[in-house]
């Protein structure tokens, strides 16, 4: 009990100090946080729901409580409540299943219960052995334990396509206006394009459900030189994204290089620095760009050094873990754990590392309709884990 009181007092002091520092500092100063104090440990129960999934990438719950799971080689499956797997859903387009490419995120439309519409992102094979991040749309027709996709169309294609198998992103988040945020990567070899607002590489994009640029984007709102679908620039490789439905705020996590993974809250027309500024270093050990800050470029809300290779991201709002409400849950691939970030006033005031003893690469994290937390492990025989209070 006393430890909990001490932690809360310490967290409050940290939050107050940070708020005062931000308020009193000159406009050129930055308030960036890393190595937050350890949060009180959570007692959790870990249950295996399903196994035998080939590099699962994304999980979404259907209205009936079953789960849709993407497998990176290009398969979409339904996972029953007893953990059994359906045959692959028919109707998906061909994917570029190489390196980090393949079938990536999946998201149900807001009206899915009546329309059956879903969106998915994938690495799409293009001409001459090139590939790029694309977004598709289709209608899921359920048939017993499985189903098929109908009326499938690719609504958005990232250009230019690149001959590389790295840094595709990619998460899809539906905002409160019904538009789709789509996160992308810099494709590894194209990092300089992350600073070009007219090229949708290394960006957060925002598109309508038909793939056209969404109203309110900077390029449609008088920002010269910005492609009409681009929301924010200067991103390396965003593989986790979630919306706070109460505030409409977008949260993302992106990979650094050797260190420097970032938690950001991308705002319209802002520049998040890559590859000019970073808290990491190149894999060679050389400094990235000009260092850790530059005028006109945003600082991360939080960063990890060494890198944990951030992936899935969830904002917990359930009742099963009342002490986790409002916390961000972050998957670590190389870090092989789930990071629970305690948030106060948009800042990280404490962090807890969970599932470290298992050594799993955490690819995606979703809150279930029962309030439990469901985790996808990235492996050639990946699993779905269910986390509940012990």
Q: Which residues form the catalytic set?
A: 167
- Rounded to whole angstroms, the Cα distance separating 93 from 104 reads 12
Radius of gyration of the chain (CA): 20
- Cβ atoms of residues 84 and 152 within 8 Å: no
Residues 6+ positions from 311 with CB-CB distance below 8 Å: 239, 240, 253, 330, 331, 332, 333, 362, 363, 364, 378
Say if residues 314 and 242 touch (Cβ distance below 8 Å). yes
Beta strands in 72-128 (DSSP E): 75-79, 103-108, 117-125
117-121: long-range pairs with CB below 8 Å, 24+: 117/209, 118/60, 118/68, 118/149, 119/155, 119/172, 119/180, 119/209, 120/70, 120/76, 120/92, 120/172, 121/169, 121/170, 121/171, 121/172, 121/182
Estimate the share of the chain in helix, then strand, then coil, as percent rounded to the nearest 5: 10, 40, 45
Q: Return the ∠ at Cα 377 (arms to 65 and 246), rounded to 5°.
A: 55
The strand pairing partners of 174, in sequence order, are 180
Residues near 66 by beta carbon (within 8 Å), at least 6 away in sequence: 78, 79, 80, 81
């Amino acid at each position: 009990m006393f430890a909990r009181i001490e932690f809360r007092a310490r967290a409050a002091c940290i939050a107050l100090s940070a708020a005062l520092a931000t308020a009193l500092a000159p406009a050129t100063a930055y308030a960036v946080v890393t190595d937050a104090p350890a949060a009180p440990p959570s007692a959790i129960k870990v249950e295996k729901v399903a196994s035998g999934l080939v590099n699962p990438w994304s999980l979404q719950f259907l209205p009936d409580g079953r789960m849709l799971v993407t497998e990176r080689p290009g398969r979409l499956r339904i996972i029953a409540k007893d953990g059994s797997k359906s045959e692959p859903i028919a109707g998906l387009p061909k994917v570029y299943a190489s390196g980090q490419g393949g079938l990536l995120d999946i998201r149900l439309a807001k009206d899915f219960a009546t329309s059956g519409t879903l969106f998915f992102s994938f690495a799409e094979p293009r001409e001459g052995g090139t590939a790029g991040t694309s977004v598709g749309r289709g209608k899921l027709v359920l048939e017993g334990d499985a189903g098929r996709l109908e009326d499938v169309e690719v609504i958005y294609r990232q250009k230019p396509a690149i001959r590389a198998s790295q840094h595709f992103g990619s998460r899809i988040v539906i905002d409160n206006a019904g538009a789709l945020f789509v996160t992308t990567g810099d494709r590894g070899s194209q990092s300089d394009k992350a600073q070009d607002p007219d090229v949708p590489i290394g960006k957060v994009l925002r598109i309508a459900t038909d793939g056209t640029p969404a109203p309110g984007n900077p390029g449609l709102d008088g920002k010269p030189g910005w492609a009409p679908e681009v929301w924010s620039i200067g991103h390396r490789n965003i593989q986790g994204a979630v919306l706070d439905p109460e505030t409409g705020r977008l949260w993302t996590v992106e990979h650094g290089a050797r260190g420097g993974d970032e938690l950001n809250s991308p705002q319209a027309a802002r520049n998040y620095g890559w590859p000019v500024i970073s808290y990491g270093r190149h894999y060679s050990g050389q400094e990235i760009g000009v260092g850790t800050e530059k005028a006109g470029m945003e600082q991360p809300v939080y960063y990890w050094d060494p890198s944990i290779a951030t992936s899935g991201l969830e904002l917990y709002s359930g009742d099963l873990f009342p002490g986790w409400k409002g916390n961000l849950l972050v998957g670590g691939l190389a870090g092989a754990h789930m990071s629970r970030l305690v948030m106060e006033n948009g800042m990280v005031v404490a962090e807890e590392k969970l599932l470290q003893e298992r050594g799993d690469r955490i690819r995606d994290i979703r809150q279930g309709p029962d309030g439990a937390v469901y985790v996808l492990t990235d492996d050639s025989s990946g699993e779905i884990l269910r986390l509940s209070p012990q």
